[in-house]
Amino acid sequence: MICFDYLEPESLAEACALLKKHGEDARPIAGGTSLLIMMRQHLLMPKIVVSLEKIPDFGRIVFDDQEGLRIGAGARHRDIELSPLVKRHYPLLHETFRKVAQPRIRNMGTIGGNLAAGDPLTDPGASLIALDAQVILAGAEGPRTLPLEEFFVDYYETALKPGEILTEIHVPPPRRPGWSHIKFTPRSVEDFATVGVALTLAVQNGSCQDLRLALNSVASTIIRAKGAEEVLRGKEVTEAALRELGEVAATEVDPMDDNRGSSEYKRELVKVLVCRAAREAVRRAS
Ligand SMILES: Cc1cc2nc3c(=O)[nH]c(=O)nc-3n(C[C@H](O)[C@H](O)[C@H](O)COP(=O)(O)OP(=O)(O)OC[C@H]3O[C@@H](n4cnc5c(N)ncnc54)[C@H](O)[C@@H]3O)c2cc1C
C-alpha cells in the first residue's frame, strides 16, 4: 500500500511554501500520469503530494505578436494540440502535441509534468527547443528563467531545484518559417519515439539563414545538435549539405540499446531522419 498526504494549495505562493516546508518529503503532482507510475513502482515515495490543480490560470495559453506564446505549465497536451493559437502560429507544436501518447494520456498529462519529468524519450522538449523556448521556474526565493535546452541535465534530471515549480513555457514569436517534426515509431504510433527530430529553419535566396535542430530518444537528455546546425547555417542549401547535416547530427547523439533498437540502428536513423526533416523544412520555408 502507498500512503501519503495530499495537499491542494490554492495559489502558486502557497504551493512553493508547502514544497519548501516539506523539502525532500514532498513532490508536486499535475496530471499524475508519470508520477503515479513512479510511486507504484516505488521509484519515488513522497510522503506529501502537492497538487498544482487549483493554482489559478496554471493552464492558460496566450499569444501576442510581440511576446509570442505563453503556455502555463498546467496546460494539458490536448489543450495545446487543440489550441487555435498554437495551430495558427506554431504548426510545429500542433504537429508535435498531436503525436504525444494517445488521447487518454493527452487529456491528463500536462506540459509542465512532461518537461519536469526529464524523460529523454518524450516529444515536446525537442520541438520547444527548436522554437527557442524558455522555461520559467518559481521557488520560495522568486522566479527565474532558463533556456529550455539548459533545463535538461541528465536522465530524469532537470535544473529544477528542490521545492521549485515549473510555472510557464515561453516561446518567442516564430523566427524561422520552415519546420519539421518526425517521430519515428515503428511499433505503434502511440509508442515513445525510437528517434524524434524537430527542426526549424529560414531560407533566403537558396541559402540557410538560420536553423535549430533538436532530438529526443537519442541521449540521456533531449539535445540540441549545435554542431550539425553549423553545417548549414549561412550555407547554400544543397542535397549534399542536407546529407552532411544528418551525418554530423549522428555524431552528436549517444543512443542506448533498448527494446526499440540498437544504438547503431538509432544513429543510422538520425542520419536519415535529420536529412529528411531538413528537406521538408526547406520546402515549407521556400
Ligand atoms: C502510457 C504512456 C505513454 C506515453 N507516451 C508519451 C509519448 O508518446 N510522448 C511523450 O512526450 N510523452 C509520453 N508519455 C509521458 C507523458 O507525456 C507524461 O507522463 C506527462 O506529460 C506527465 O505530465 P503529468 O502532468 O501527468 O505529470 P505528473 O505525473 O503529475 O508529474 C511528473 C513529474 O513532474 C513533476 N511535476 C509535475 N508538474 C510539475 C511542475 N509544474 N513543476 C515542477 N515539477 C512538476 C512531478 O513531481 C513528477 O516528478 C507517456 C506516458 C504514459 C503513461
**Binned average pLDDT, 10 residues per bin, the chain of 286 residues:** 93 95 95 96 95 97 97 98 97 97 96 98 98 95 94 97 96 96 89 97 96 98 98 97 98 96 97 98 95
- For residue 216, the ligand 1 atom closest to its alpha carbon is 11
User: Could you tell me the CA-to-CA distances from 55 to 4, 75, 82, 248 in Å, in that order?
Assistant: 21, 12, 22, 44
- Look at residue 58 in the predicted model and tell me its pLDDT: 98
Collapsing DSSP to helix, strand or coil, 105 comes out as: helix
- Look at residue 250 in the predicted model and tell me its pLDDT: 98
Q: Give residue 108 CA to ligand 1 midpoint distance, Å.
A: 9
Task: Give me the amino acid identity at 42.
Answer: H
C-alpha triplet 138, 91, 110: angle, nearest 5°: 35
137 lines ligand 1 (CB under 6 A): no
The two beta strands, 5-7 and 48-51, are parallel
* CA 251/CA 266 separation, integer angstroms: 11
* CA 162/CA 220 separation, integer angstroms: 21
| Protein residue closest via CA to atom 17 of ligand 1 | 114
pTM (2 d.p.):
0.97
33 lines ligand 1 (CB under 6 A): yes
Altogether, the residues listed in the chain come to a count of 286
- Look at residue 188 in the predicted model and tell me its pLDDT: 83
Q: How many CB atoms lie within 10 A of CB 238?
A: 12
Q: What DSSP line would sit under 130-166, residue for residue?
A: HTT-EEEEEETTEEEEEEHHHHEEETTEESPPTT-EE
- Look at residue 141 in the predicted model and tell me its pLDDT: 81
User: Could you tell me the CA-to-CA distances from 253 to 122, 160, 196 in Å, in that order?
Assistant: 16, 24, 12
- Look at residue 257 in the predicted model and tell me its pLDDT: 96
- Look at residue 272 in the predicted model and tell me its pLDDT: 98
Q: Give residue 34 CA to ligand 1 midpoint distance, Å.
A: 5
* CA 50/CA 58 separation, integer angstroms: 14
| Protein residue closest via CA to atom 36 of ligand 1 | 113
